[in-house]
Chains A and B, each alone.
Chain A
């Protein structure tokens, strides 16, 4: 007996990106009704001026459908060619079923394999690593990767440490086989020793008993320390493993956790001035898993970044988990 193995494409790349931002604009002054803070403090500590939260008729599903539809249309890939759907999210508030099968159905993707992953703010890069491996391993030819979040639903408006940080939104990419490489080696990992650095204030069970919906909490300084120390080194490793020097890089899209973290990463990586750096945090806040594809779409749409350019992306967050790679922009 000879058992057949699946055979994939030598390389994969991102074919197109799309995103969705909800309609409600929440500025810092609005939040200062609920926390003892100021526009000045929030701006100085994080760079955030405003963020978008879901309003009437908007939710995780509508955001993901909009972002995915845009990415699929731009890719030119036929619906029935998409074999797999990965949704990266920590804000689909149902234990089961996953959001991905429902999304695949709504988008008309037939019986595509579909599942969710939970890797918080690293979700997009985790999903990208899986999608790349599927295409190169022959498990799928075209993959839809969607990252969507509505962290506003689990934000405690009265928590001075997190109320101002998160924004809602979704981003999606379509990936496919390629003659040339469009995705460098993933550099990823976790530190479960710091599992409580970003955490929920209740489990589902204890929340039900207490009659409250669990909300997110954070030890901001621990996260800041990890991001400006360990993650800076991981970002350097992404470049090294891809064989790309700082001079060869065109665009840098770090997870938008805090502008001050981005400043430190830039200082550490010594990227040349010409490198375009994502700063979507100023008007979108931290969009968790959705941050990187949303920023990618924004930079390409504004013309600041161009198709075919080389970009470093890196996500990091609750877990703690992180993942990054060097990619060719769609």
Chain B
């Protein structure tokens, strides 16, 4: 089982790859849209990337609730 920090680090790589955000900025308290400037299309790709990377299923109605990096990490921890 991956630790919270390991999941955050892997997610940070993904966010960097998709949206060019520096990995060190991708911290648990950061909002994707407001703090990291991730737009709606990049967010779709990040979630698709999470599904692949962590083997989780993120339904559309769930994705709306994943506003911060911490929300996404918690979802992955609970569902992988």
Partners in one complex: yes
Q: Which residues of A contact B (CB under 8 A)?
A: 44-45, 221, 224-225, 228-229, 258, 260, 264, 267
Asked if B41 contacts A45 (CB within 8 A), the reply is yes
Asked if A221 contacts B44 (CB within 8 A), the reply is yes
Closest chain-A Cβ to B20's Cβ sits at a distance in Å of: 11
Q: Which residues of B contact A (CB under 8 A)?
A: 17-18, 39-41, 44-45, 48, 52, 60
Asked if B48 contacts A267 (CB within 8 A), the reply is no
Asked if A224 contacts B44 (CB within 8 A), the reply is yes
Asked if B39 contacts A229 (CB within 8 A), the reply is no
Give bound CA distance, A45 to B39, whole Å: 9
Residues of B within 8 A of A260 (CB): 41
Asked if B40 contacts A267 (CB within 8 A), the reply is no
**Chain B residue with minimal CB distance to A221?**
B44
**Chain B residue with minimal CB distance to A267?**
B17
Give bound CA distance, A267 to B52, whole Å: 15
Asked if B17 contacts A225 (CB within 8 A), the reply is no
Give bound CA distance, A45 to B41, whole Å: 8
Residues of B within 8 A of A221 (CB): 40-41, 44, 60
Residues of B within 8 A of A267 (CB): 17
Q: A224-B44, A225-B44, A228-B45 are in contact. List 12 more A-B contacts (CB 8 A).
A: A45-B39, A45-B41, A221-B40, A221-B60, A225-B48, A228-B44, A228-B48, A229-B48, A229-B52, A258-B41, A264-B45, A267-B17
Give bound CA distance, A264 to B46, whole Å: 11
Residues of B within 8 A of A44 (CB): 39
Residues of A within 8 A of B60 (CB): 221
14 of the cross-chain contacts (CB-CB < 8 Å) are: A44-B39, A45-B39, A45-B41, A221-B40, A221-B41, A221-B60, A224-B41, A225-B44, A225-B48, A228-B44, A258-B41, A260-B41, A264-B45, A267-B17
**Chain B residue with minimal CB distance to A232?**
B48
Rank and list the top 3 A-B pairs by shortest CB-CB distance, nearest first: A229-B48, A225-B44, A224-B44
Give bound CA distance, A148 to B39, whole Å: 33
Give bound CA distance, A260 to B44, whole Å: 12
Give bound CA distance, A261 to B44, whole Å: 11
